[in-house]
Amino acid sequence: MAEEEYLKKNDNDINISNKKTIHFGFSILKNLLSFNVIISHCFNINSTKNKTIHYLIKRRGIHVPSFMIISFYFNHNTLISFDTKKKIYRFERLFIPYLGWPIIIFIICNITKNFNRYKNLCSFKILIIQLILGSGNGILHFWFLFDLIFTTIIFQIFILLFRKNYLFILNLLLLFSYFIQYSKYSTILYLYTYKFTSLARENNMIPFAVTGFTLSSLKVLRKLEKYKFNSFIFSLITYYLIHSYNIFSKSSGAVYNGLKLNVSSVCEIIIFSLFSLNNIRNNKLKTFLLHATNYSGGIFYLHQAIQFFFKNIIYDIKKGSLLGILIIYFITYLICFFGNFIFKNYKVKYLFS
């Protein structure tokens, strides 16, 4: 995971306990976000009257902004580093699942007896479109990874060009992005890009990326560690107010526009960053908890494919219950767990973590 890289390369002014605290909190959050994205993609809200599920579905939009913020938070040191190996490692972790899973699913579709059922979703043409643009009409939609890669390249260019003022320049880019989102240009941009999900949402992803990068650069979460209770209460109240009242006006265009999701995601991230393992005395249990939460990336990548094959082989999960969502989650988790274990000494493991 990206957290592992962060823990190895962090400054020496933070003790091991605090590093593990931050790592564990983010890992728990990312697994909850993975579960939330499965609900978002694989669950029919009309199939239940459960208030908890309805709440999760209503807040489902927060998972993408949170993932983007977390990613650039943990990769801040890599982006500003002069170490080429770190940068190569970063792109390997992104490109291996981005290129690997569409090709693997394409092969599985073509050797499956039921191929005629979904041949239109597994054609070579759609595969090429997905590999180039990150999205299409196929089983997997990797627009998020596409934008993650593209945004990383943008950051790297700005950091190299403005070595002394890159943080200021990147935040100007954030402001420019919001200007586009809240202006008529947002609708124009969306009209020309809506068929290509990755391109349509790139402008929306930039503020989340800059936010995560800035949080890490200014060591905001480390500083808040000294004021845990106040930070927790303030973030909780702010989150509640944002989602209960129309504090931020809506913007037009593609989803994930506007300030609302950015601010509420930061509140959620602050809350989880304060989670601690210090009350657990058993070091083996601590180690287990840290490693058991390391597969959110793989779950995020694979859940749609698992749901798709599950639907064609057993039953349509969208007509099912919460139990079906739990089944999808644990099947995906087990695949990621064993895949990571089997290939732990090879770069193929990046497909699962």
- Rounded to the nearest 10 degrees, what angle do helices 197-217 and 63-74 cross at? 50
Q: Does a structural domain hold residue 208?
A: no
Residue 249 has what pLDDT? 73
In whole angstroms, what is the distance from residue 193 CA to residue 126 CA?
18
Q: Does a structural domain hold residue 169?
A: no
Provide mean pLDDT across the span 158-170: 95
In whole angstroms, what is the distance from residue 58 CA to residue 52 CA?
10
Predicted confidence band at 135 (pLDDT cuts at 50, 70, 90)?
confident
Model confidence, pTM: 0.88
Average confidence score pLDDT of the chain: 82
DSSP 314-351: T--GGGS-HHHHHHHHHHHHHHHHHHHHHTTTSGGGGG
Residue 119 has what pLDDT? 59
Provide mean pLDDT across the span 159-167: 94
Predicted confidence band at 271 (pLDDT cuts at 50, 70, 90)?
very high
Q: Does a structural domain hold residue 97?
A: yes
* Better-scored residue on pLDDT, 17 or 217: 217
Report whether 255 contacts 202 (CB < 8 A). Answer: no
Domain total of the chain: 1
Provide mean pLDDT across the span 36-64: 73
Long-range CB contact pairs, 150-155, < 8 A, 24+: 150/198, 150/202, 151/68, 151/72, 151/202, 151/205, 151/206, 151/209, 152/75, 152/79, 152/90, 152/91, 152/94, 154/206, 155/72, 155/79, 155/209, 155/213
Q: Does a structural domain hold residue 245?
A: no
In whole angstroms, what is the distance from residue 296 CA to residue 67 CA?
10
80-95 tens-digit pLDDT: 999 999 999 999 999 9
Residue 172 has what pLDDT? 97
Residue 115 has what pLDDT? 52
Residue 295 DSSP one-character state: T
Q: Does a structural domain hold residue 129?
A: yes
* Better-scored residue on pLDDT, 85 or 124: 85
Q: Does a structural domain hold residue 244?
A: no
179-210 tens-digit pLDDT: 988 888 887 877 777 777 788 889 999 999 99
Q: Which residues contact 129 (CB under 8 A, 6 or more apart)?
A: 135, 136, 138
Residue 3 has what pLDDT? 47
Provide mean pLDDT across the span 223-234: 92
- Distance separating the N- and C-terminal Cα atoms of the chain: 6
Domain that holds residue 128: 2-164+217-222+275-351
Residue 76 has what pLDDT? 95
Q: Which two tokens stand for residue 32?
A: 């909850």
Residue 267 has what pLDDT? 95
Question: Is 116 a residue whose pLDDT tops 70?
Answer: no
Report whether 39 contacts 53 (CB < 8 A). Answer: yes
Residue 93 has what pLDDT? 94
Q: Which two tokens stand for residue 44?
A: 């029919």
Residue 118 has what pLDDT? 60
* Better-scored residue on pLDDT, 123 or 270: 270
Q: Does a structural domain hold residue 183?
A: no
Least confident of 95-104, 223-232, 283-292: 283-292
Predicted confidence band at 12 (pLDDT cuts at 50, 70, 90)?
very low
Question: Is 268 a residue whose pLDDT tops 80?
Answer: yes
Predicted confidence band at 321 (pLDDT cuts at 50, 70, 90)?
low
Q: Does a structural domain hold residue 181?
A: no
